[in-house]
Amino acid sequence: MNDTRSEIIRLGSELIRSVGYNSFSYADISKALNIKNAAIHYYFPSKSDLGVEIIKRNLNAFNELTKTWEGLDYKLQFSNYIHMHDSFIGNHWLCIVGSLSPSYDTLPENMQKELKGLVNTILKWLTALLDNGLKTNIFSFTETPRTKAFIVHSALLSSLQMNKVLKNDVYKSIQEGLLNI
């Protein structure tokens, strides 16, 4: 795969995580990569094409990653999930879902669809894991697995957002709280 193209995607991802989809421009990318904005339009005719590609890659990465966890015990899989975004804290980055969801109504339709698919994939995987763990008495909680998945996912996603604002131990605290399952 072309170097410029993947650099655009890499930078685009970072920008979505740090300032959000609506707050970065092709100029931000072109300046950083020392190319012209038209060069980005060559690879991604419209900004939403880039947005869709970035979401797709995240979905792919999630599927690949969880596949490598297959067979691990549920506690470890859960812990892996909870620690998935640890590398983002220092830069105060968000996960893609936490970055794009709040501005969902302003996103182009193809990105909305892709984002919805990503969220559903994550929740489906997490619900199944919690269900398995509950049935085998590895986990212990009173909510339904689906509700528990909603809560865990939401709390984790939002802890990255709060980390941006408070810049304190909110992320680590929530992690520890959630792991106590």
Partner DNA sequence: GAATATACTTACTACTAAGTAAATTTGATT
Partner DNA sequence: AATCAAATTTACTTAGTAGTAAGTATATTC
State the binding partner of 130 from DNA, a copy of itself, none, CB within 5 to 8 A by kind: none
State the binding partner of 45 from DNA, a copy of itself, none, CB within 5 to 8 A by kind: DNA
Range in contact with a copy of itself (rule: CB under 8 A) among 3-11, 63-71, 91-99, 125-133: 91-99
Q: Which residues of 119-142 are buried (b: 16+ CB within 10 A; e: fewer)?
A: beebbebbbebbbebbeeeebeee
Q: Which of 11, 17, 26, 97 is close enough to bind DNA by CB under 7 A? A: 26
Q: Round the CA-based radius of gyration of the chain to a whole number and report it.
A: 18
- Site for a copy of itself contains 116 (CB under 8 A): yes
State the binding partner of 150 from DNA, a copy of itself, none, CB within 5 to 8 A by kind: a copy of itself
- Site for a copy of itself contains 138 (CB under 8 A): no
- Site for a copy of itself contains 80 (CB under 8 A): no
Owner of token pair 């980390």: 163
From its phi and psi, is residue 168 left (phi > 0), alpha (psi between -120 and 50) or beta?
A: beta
Q: Which of 31, 103, 135, 136 is close enough to bind a copy of itself by CB under 8 A? A: 103
Contact pattern from residue 37 through residue 66 relative to DNA, giving x for each residue in contact according to CB under 7 A and a dash for the rest: xxx-xxx-xxxx------------------
Query: Contact residues for a copy of itself (CB under 8 A)?
Result: 18-20, 22-23, 92, 94, 97-99, 101-106, 112, 115-116, 119-120, 142-144, 146-148, 150-151, 153-159, 161-162, 164-166, 170, 173-174, 176-178, 180
